[in-house]
Amino acid sequence: ANWAWVVAMFRSPVNHGFKMLDRYIRMGVRKKGLHGPYFRRYTAKHKQWENEKHTLNALIKQQRLYMPMQRAKEVQQYAEEIVFHAKKGTSYSDGIVESMLISPEARQILYEQLVPRYKDRHFFFTRIINRYATKIKHQDPQAFIEFVDWPGELRPANPVGEARKKHVAEQYDASRRNRRRYIGEAVKLGLVDPSQPKDLKPEAKESYLQKA
């Protein structure tokens, strides 16, 4: 009986390597139990879009989700698109937004919080952070996907709009090394006169440096 158990263990799909395991999963092998199917990658085609809608709805409501890396990359494109179309405000864009949202709570958060938050940010509303960890059941790499520019974000995003001007002015005035680094952007933002690059304009100092 002990030898039979050893042989059965080595003949199990998990020990055949990734290709054989992937083959068994595609054939419909599932691990039933308290948690249901443990591998959801190969669901039916008509269910995949509904899963994306529910994940997008949860991301908008919670602002951050923890999921496999590949699924986070797939959800990210829809999160970027829905904020982009919500900002445009045309009838065509409104139709796309309504086709992707499934709850009034997500719609309220999108139009009342996300659209004003990203008025100066044209793209890159979300980020994916690799956790460098894998799921024990299927060894998929895990990651965080979250919206940027909110108080609970994992790390601060690059500022935009007036916040970007304030950041560049502070860095430009901090050291000579930063002046060499930010000279091009400072001139483009109108903070520095190209004929006098050693110092900021007086109005830039008054607006972004002398506010304690």
Residues 110-162 pLDDT 10s: 999 999 999 999 989 999 999 998 877 667 899 999 999 999 999 999 999 99
pLDDT of 80 strictly over 90? yes
| 3-class DSSP assignment, residue 2 | helix
pLDDT of 72 strictly over 90? yes
Separation in Å, CA 99 to CA 64, 85, 141, 157 = 22, 12, 30, 29
16 or 121, greater pLDDT = 121
* The two structure tokens encoding residue 93: 């864009």
Backbone angles phi, psi at 85, to 5 degrees: -75, -35
pLDDT in tens, 175-207: 999 999 999 999 999 999 999 888 899 999 998
Residue 42's pLDDT band, with cuts at 50, 70 and 90, is low
3 or 91, greater pLDDT = 91
pLDDT of 88 strictly over 90? yes
Separation in Å, CA 191 to CA 158, 163, 182, 196, 212 = 18, 13, 10, 11, 19
Residue 66: enclosing H or E segment and its boundaries?
strand 64-68
Residue 1's pLDDT band, with cuts at 50, 70 and 90, is very low
pLDDT of 30 strictly over 90? no
